[in-house]
Structure 1
Amino acid sequence: MSHRKLHIGMSLAPTWLSGDGWRRQDSRVEDLLDSDFYVDVARRAEAAHLDFVFRPDTLFLSAAALENGPGFTSMDPTVLLAALSRETSHIGLLSTVSTSFFPPYIVARQIQSLNWLSKGRTGWNIVTALDGNDNFGIETMPSAEERYARAAEFTQIVRHLWQSFPADSIVCDRTGGRYADSRRVQPIDHRGPFFNVKGPLTLPGYDRAPLPLIQAGASPAGRDFAASVADAVFASAPDMQAAIDLRRDLRARAETHGRSADDILVLPGLSLYLAQTRRQAEELFAETHQRTARVKALANLKAMTGLEVTDWPDDRPVTLADLPPLPSQPRSRTHLDLLLRAIERDTPRLGELLKRPELIGSAHWQVIGTVDDAFDTITAWSEADAIDGFVTLPGGSVDCLHRSINELIPRLAQAGHFRKAYGSDTFYGHLKEK
């Protein structure tokens, strides 16, 4: 394995309750809106010395999806993480906020407020969103190119606002009656294609460490944006080669923006279904998905490609030639490209295709097996320079969550692939540890 230590985060979205996982007696699904539920997960993750916990977010709700599970039911990420900031001391707290629906001034203030509350442990997961426009008076979602152009300007404004009120401009001269050097607190006077923002911000920037920026875009426009500003990328990479290609591309793009290739970390989502034996893990996966997976996969295949296969036998191969003309502006270009790549490379039978993470999940890397299997797979991916770390997405049961934190992470640490103790008390510091 590479001498580099891995950087590992964990999703606070209860992925272990997806599918039918919520139906288990120990799921605690009734506690989804109780902060204690998330405090427990965050404390466990901190005890394992993870870099961060993060809460993904959506700003729309499919009522129909609630029939079979909690779906996207969630609290505001930044408010939730503010509660966790008082219950943890070292782990990073990564909040998700969209650049498509909020004013940059509000976001700059909200994220920096959390950074002060957490004493430098906050990060911003920058997303442009795929849905939710109807909730904000936007008739149709703009193209990916326009969304990322807006995101680039939005992010620039937020960063300038964070600098508009320097922390060291506060002098607290009680004797002289001077609180701050007001000459150093300046408006940003931004005027651009999407926003006009005067500034300055209502609170100073946090001066002990930079605030990390994380991004998840994988389209060409998304990659270029991520390469220009992100400290890490939360990636969808269903196989090792996809991760290798993405990492190489992002590192090369970072250099074109005048950055070092090492300035950007690639952290694929890792969907884990872990049990004592492989057979038990496979049973866990099957039990979790048996009610909804096929219906979801068929619907996703049709939505992404227009291909209707309801009457096809499971042993019929699926080829690119079977696909109708593809939409010019798909909901997610990234997920469509990954699906097309899998069809072209493997010519899978329909039954096999409908089980792939590109259709039943979020196209994330997946391990269904034992802790040993997960350890060996992570080792192989790291040795191949496919990853700089990963974001843990336990599936199926609370037991899988506990195995991920209590068994897999310590195993990686014992082998020298992950830290045994924190070397920093800021989020940025964690990401820069070697």
Structure 2
Amino acid sequence: MRPFWQTGFGKLVIGGCGAQLGLLLSLAGLMFVLLFCAVCVTTNVIIMGLAGQPVETGSPNASAPASEPPADVHSLLAEVDLLLAQIEALQLQEPVAPPPILPAGGKPIVRATQNEVTLYSGPGIDYAPAGRLALGESAEIVGRNVNSTWWLVALPNGSFAWAFNALVTAININETIPVVTTPSELVQPASFGIVAAVTPPPVQPALPPTPTPTPTLPPGTPTPAAEVSRQYVEDTSAFQRVKASLLTPPGSASFSPDGSRFAMTERIRIYTVGLAGAHTDIWLEDNDKMGPMDGLVWSPDGQYLAFVVGFKQKYCRPCRAVGLLNLAEKSITYLTPPDPSLDTDMPRWTQDGRLLVNAHPGEPADGVAYVYNIYGESQKAEGIYVLSASHEGQKWFPWRPGRIWQAGVSERADSYNSD
């Protein structure tokens, strides 16, 4: 049997129309491929178009939200929201006071570490409120209580109040800050400055008033202002005995801090007289160059006695000077004036053992206040001083209270010597 292509019919198919049929089959395959690709492209275009169009809802104007962002975008947005909330919370908080700049060798001050620190008229919360310090505000320290838990501060309006150490920061603290007791002169009413608002306590049954506690005072410190029994120096039998023996009446006399003796002068001699045995010591007598004047004042510790002498030269300059008697060493030194032509007088001790004097050209009203230590070193008086009893206050035992004095406030430099 012969193969198909060798037969007559096979030769007709292959030779006659075989080529045409192959071509038709090829074109049909190509069209199928093109149609398939067109369908795929059209389908993709339709799908992408539908993804970019808003989805219609019940409202014709409403549109669907954008596609959900990835998870890392959600995390970043949450962190940003948290930071914004923290910034807003910080802005709503009260301002924080800047850290204090500690001045080297400056004046001792307190700075409030809390908002609205209440100040009191005495060293304790039982005293009346006397003002406030806002957060970061400061005030100069002029005294302290015995254990330094309360600070006596000077306010800008010239008043004084007490600040509790636990509510403030004390800066430039040193041992020269005097211990201050609580006489009435230092217990200010709560009517000056910005007074802290006090909520009235509930009404209680009437009780007898509680007396204000009177602290125990060391010798030489200002005595409490309560009505206590005091003795006047000129009423003592010892004073009367010495006075009767003098040709000239005494012009100045003052008790020692412990009240065991007194000092006096009749401008001829300076005496100290014991009350118990009426023992009398003579410390200075006048001569042809100078003689004692007045102004006898004891130091708070009772170891020194300050006084004024006058020079007898016709054209003296200076004509007055302040002397300092060391009772233990039995020696007298005279304070050197800040200028050789100036008189010095009106001595008054501070509670920490320094001596204020008035240096003037002959008229006390034209003077300048200077402060001396016991070694005779001096400087111009500046700032605030806690004064011991004046000469007039030392005429009584116990001494009358001292007070606070600020240099440069009064028109007269010798205003420290008044009570």
Q: Report if TM-score (shorter chain) is over 0.5.
A: no
Higher strand share: 2
Greater RCO structure (CA 8 Å; 6+ sep): 1
Please, what TM-score do these two structures have when normalized by structure 1? 0.19
